[in-house]
Amino acid sequence: MAARLVLVGAGHAHAEVLRRFAQQPAPDVDLLLVSPIAQVPYSGMMPGWLGGRYSWEECCVDFAALAAAAGARWVQDEVVALNAAQRLLVLASGKTLRADFVALNIGSTVLTPRSIPGQPLILPTRPLTALRVHTEHLLSTLSSRQAQAPLRLVGVGAGAAGFEMLLGLQARLTAQGVTAQSTLTTRSGSFLPGLSVPARRLARCTLQQHRVRLQLGFDAARLGTGAVLDAKGNALAADVVLWATGGVAHAWPAQSGLAVDASGFVQVDATLRSISHPWLFAVGDCACFTPLAVPKSGVYSVRMGPVLADNLHAMLRGQPLSTYQPQPRFLVLLNTGDGHAIASRGALGWRGRWVMRWKDRIDRKFLGRYR
Ligand SMILES: Cc1cc2nc3c(=O)[nH]c(=O)nc-3n(C[C@H](O)[C@H](O)[C@H](O)COP(=O)(O)OP(=O)(O)OC[C@H]3O[C@@H](n4cnc5c(N)ncnc54)[C@H](O)[C@@H]3O)c2cc1C
């Protein structure tokens, strides 16, 4: 019987795995992809989509097509549990899937407070697959707004995603004739961690140019009437809250008995294999690479893709596995929603329209690999 390899999640690394399987088919393998959707948005272009630069279709990878080209079966479903002892995946539909080998590329999720009437409207940045629906709902609700006063927009989380998405949303609202008064908040004492000092300075200038106030040290915990509240009850007035706090682990891998770190991310060795269950791989944001801490960033998931593809092929043939070497630093490109972008690499930083053109070329080239 052919060995069954189940790819769970339409993440960056699995796009590469499917591309490689299409180039180098493995006829003795029953290859499956479990993903709730076929058209998967690429996060790098989501701020540009939100800001109105790209159409949704321009930003998506068609995983159904990738799976078909790789000879894989696309299972339109979601994994909700894993019985590790029996190598059985439990799906949201109630069905189960037996697997010989599994690869997880399921990203992370975000814990978002619920909004009830009277409280600010909330736009969570994750899951990205729901971003379009959430944004369209928000914009249609705002279109019937009568108020003369500016819309109070608060971004919670001042990492790269929070920074870009707040500027993108503000640009979109401005284009729709809505004047926003924006604040970007973070619980920490600094913003855009990991960026160079010049890039952060340019980011601060950009916020000032767009009249976005930066409030450091505000640990947003919940929503109240017309406000975001921190744990002590301090309030920040808000009509709309963009929730972009850091990713948290999906619960089911830890519940399945896989070895996970203190945050619930699946611990893997240098070959990207689970340290407790060697028939399972985990890559991207859902993994904790035990040899060395690596940032939760799409760039790392992309770079894990080729190693994962090689190792899946090698494991199916009983050959030795390769190791993944994380790059020591990487280029960060932030879309500022005004036709410009900021670049940060090492100790350097730049801003300009040319940086946005550079980012656009990189993003389109990445997507072009999977079309
Ligand atoms: C708005 C925004 C902008 C960003 N911009 C950048 C950027 O420019 N550059 C960068 O490097 N990083 C960026 N990031 C971070 C980046 O998105 C993540 O680090 C990256 O997406 C992680 O990739 P991944 O391959 O691990 O998983 P993901 O890209 O998150 O993909 C996981 C997939 O698995 C699916 N899935 C989840 N659970 C299940 C399940 N149980 N069963 C089946 N399928 C499941 C999801 O639907 C999703 O399609 C951004 C993040 C956000 C929110």
Q: What is the DSSP string of 183-251?
A: EEEESSSSSSTTS-HHHHHHHHHHHHHTTEEEEET--EEEEETTEEEETT--EEE-SEEEE-PPPB--S
Closest atom of ligand 1 relative to the 12 alpha carbon: 25
Residues 6+ apart with CB under 8 A from 87: 98, 99, 100, 102, 279
* Beta bridge mates, 335: 341
- Per the structure block, which two tokens stand in for 296? 């939760």
DSSP string, 67-128: HHHTTPEEE-S-EEEEETTTTEEEETTS-EEE-SEEEE----B-------TTSPEEEE--SG
Task: Determine the pLDDT at residue 27.
Answer: 84
The overall average pLDDT reported for the chain is 96
53 lines ligand 1 (CB under 6 A): no
Atom of ligand 1 at shortest range from CA of 296:
19
Residue 146's pLDDT is what?
Answer: 75
- pLDDT at residue 184, rounded to an integer: 98
CATH architecture entry for 3-109+248-316: 3-Layer(bba) Sandwich (3.50)
Q: What is the pLDDT of residue 145?
A: 80
Average pLDDT over residues 202-218: 98
Q: Is 135 in the pocket of ligand 1 (CB under 6 A)?
A: no
Q: Checking DSSP bridges between strand 332-335 and strand 287-289, what pairing results, if any? A: unpaired
User: Which CATH class, in words, describes the domain spanning 121-245?
Assistant: alpha beta
Q: Is 344's C-beta closer than 6 angstroms to any atom of ligand 1?
A: no
Of the pLDDT bands very low, low, confident and very high (cuts 50, 70, 90), residue 83 is: very high
Ligand 1 center from residue 347 Cα (angstroms): 27
Q: What is the helix, strand, coil percentage profile of the chain, to 5?
A: 30, 30, 40
Read off the pLDDT of each residue in 232-236 and give the average, rounded to a whole number. Answer: 95
**Residue 327 CB-density burial (10 A; 0-12 exposed, 13-18 middle, 19+ buried):** exposed
Q: What is the pLDDT of residues 159-208, one digit of tens each?
A: 999 999 999 999 999 999 999 999 999 999 999 999 999 999 999 999 99
pLDDT reported for residue 255: 98
Atom of ligand 1 nearest to the CA of 40: 49
Q: Do domains 3-109+248-316 and 121-245 have the same CATH topology?
A: yes
How far apart CA 91 and CA 69 sit, in angstroms, is: 24
Per-residue pLDDT band for 148 (boundaries 50, 70, 90) equals: confident
- The residue with tokens 């900021």 is 342
Q: For residues 135 and 123, is the Cβ–Cβ distance under 8 A?
A: yes
| Residue 296 beta carbon below 6 angstroms from any ligand 1 atom | yes
Q: Are strands 60-62 and 332-335 parallel, antiparallel or unpaired?
A: unpaired
Q: Which atom of ligand 1 lies closest to the CA of 300?
A: 11
DSSP reduced 3-state for 63: helix
Q: Please, are residues 104 and 6 in contact by the beta-carbon 8 Å criterion?
A: no
Q: Give the pLDDT score at 218.
A: 96
Instruction: Give residue 122's pLDDT band: very low, low, confident or very high (50, 70, 90).
Output: very high
CA-to-CA dists, residue 87 to 74, 90, 101, 102, 127, angstroms: 19, 10, 8, 9, 27
- Domain borders along the chain are 3-109+248-316, 121-245
Using pLDDT thresholds of 50, 70 and 90, give the confidence band for residue 114.
Answer: confident
Q: What are residue 130's phi and psi, to 5 degrees? A: -100, 0
Residue nearest ligand 1's atom 27 by CA: 107
pLDDT of residue 35: 98
pLDDT digits (tens, 9 = 90+) for 333-353: 999 999 999 999 999 999 999
Q: Calculate how far, in angstroms, residue 9's C-alpha sits from the geometric centre of ligand 1.
A: 10
Burial class (CB in 10 A: 0-12, 13-18, 19+), 167: buried
- Phi first, then psi: what are they for 90, rounded to 5°? -100, 130
Phi, psi of 329 (to 5 degrees): -150, 165
Helix, strand, or coil (residue 277):
coil
Q: Identify which of 47, 240, 222, 32 has the alpha carbon closest to the alpha carbon of residue 142.
A: 240
Q: How many other C-beta atoms are found inside a 10 Å radius of the C-beta of residue 367?
A: 17
